[in-house]
Amino acid sequence: LAKTTQPISMDSYEGQEVNITCSHNNIATNDYITWYQQFPSQGPRFIIQGYKTKVTNEVASLFIPADRKSSTLSLPRVSLSDTAVYYCLVGEGNTPLVFGKGTRLSVIA
């Protein structure tokens, strides 16, 4: 079973900022949080990873509160090409990474 919970779907207009929140109540002390993006008929692609506070790269930002029981992926000024499924994963020891159903983001013109 996935260790994370995230919304099934979200809609947004082009140019808006999109925030996708992921719940991981049972995250362990040493676990990292990783987000992937998947387009239809392609494999998931790594977006961003963090442990605590805030991480930013050229694609997105990741906000992690102090209790680390949730995290928020922020996509600035989305475009139609950002329409995809976004997965939130929590890594743990030697167990395989489990992908849940993800969040299907639809960007509307």
Partner 1 sequence: KAGVTQTPRYLIKTRGQQVTLSCSPISGHRSVSWYQQTPGQGLQFLFEYFSETQRNKGNFPGRFSGRQFSNSRSEMNVSTLELGDSALYLCASSSGSDRRYEKLFFGSGTQLSVL
Smallest distance, Å, CB 57 to partner 1? Answer: 13
Compare residues 18 and 33 and give the one whose CB is closer to partner 1: 33
Smallest distance, Å, CB 68 to partner 1? Answer: 13
Smallest distance, Å, CB 16 to partner 1? Answer: 26
Say how far apart CA 87 and CA 5 lie, in whole Å. Answer: 10
Closest CA to 12 of 78, 88, 100, 107: 107
Among 58, 67, 81, 94, indicate the residue that binds partner 1 (CB under 8 A). Answer: 94
Among 5, 23, 44, 63, indicate the residue that binds partner 1 (CB under 8 A). Answer: 44
Among 4, 36, 62, 70, indicate the residue that binds partner 1 (CB under 8 A). Answer: 36
Determine contact, residues 23/3, Cβ cutoff 8 Å. no
Q: Based on the shown chain and the rule CB under 8 A, indicate whether residue 9 belongs to the binding site for partner 1.
A: no
Binding site for partner 1 (CB under 8 A): 30-32, 34, 36, 41-46, 49, 51, 87, 91-102
